[in-house]
Copies of this chain bind each other. A is one copy, B any other.
Amino acid sequence: MISFIPLCSHPNPEKVLIVGGGDGGVAREVAKHPKVKEIHQVEIDDRVVDLSKKFLPEMARGFDSPKLKLVIGDGFKYMKDHKDEFDVIITDSSDPIGPAESLFKESYYGLMKTALRVGGIVCSQGGSFWLDPSHVKEVMTGCRVHFPNVSYAVTSIPSYPCGHIGFVVGCLDQKLNLNTPKQLFSSKEIDEMDLKYYSSSIHTASFNLPRWVHKYFYESQ
């Protein structure tokens, strides 16, 4: 979902940057999208990649994609060196408390903006509205400083705390309706791409939040 939500919200996601995602799972999914031509992935810790190849081979299959260029390095530096280059940037980080903290800051959203092409979309791990709604709202507020169009989607993951995780999605195009996929896939196409979770209908559904969450994220100051 962290892959196909931004990819399918974009009309032509040819060039994608993944920051983090060292287990290879996001690269594996991004590579399935037929419009994606080139994936750059910047992972700071080569041990994560090595261990995933050893212990999570199904995830690490992502590293075999001919579309992928894997860089072991600092995502911040990579984005500074690659301006106006990507259609979609996906940040697959760990939790907001700890080493990945900087990936949830407003300044990080500013940096991503510079690395995007016109109409670009960013999608980052956004935390759970049950666990810490004020943190999610803070991340959305930071994103709104740089992106005129910000939304939040959720996906069900039974092994995560509270059984779900959210994504903050930001888009440079103010008029783009993020919850409506620009490319609709039939069930046959979804199955041929071997997508287990995503479908064009669940894309839209994932942006629908319980009333109290919607109100807190979008209607209150």
Contacts and interface: CB of A to CB of B under 8 A. Distances in A.
A163 B157 CA distance: 8
B208 A202 contact: yes
Interface string A187-221: 10011000111110110111011111011000100
Contact of A211 (B163, B190, B209, B212): B190
A130 B204 CA distance: 21
A135 interface: no
Interface string A38-55: 000000000000000000
Interface residues of A, number: 31
Interface in A121-144: 128, 130-131
Given A130-B158, A158-B162, A208 B201 contact: yes
A156 interface: yes
A164 interface: yes
Contacts of A208: 199, 201-202, 204-205
A118 to B, nearest CB: 30
A202 B210 contact: yes
A130 B156 CA distance: 9
A109 B159 CA distance: 32
Contacts of A198: 210-211
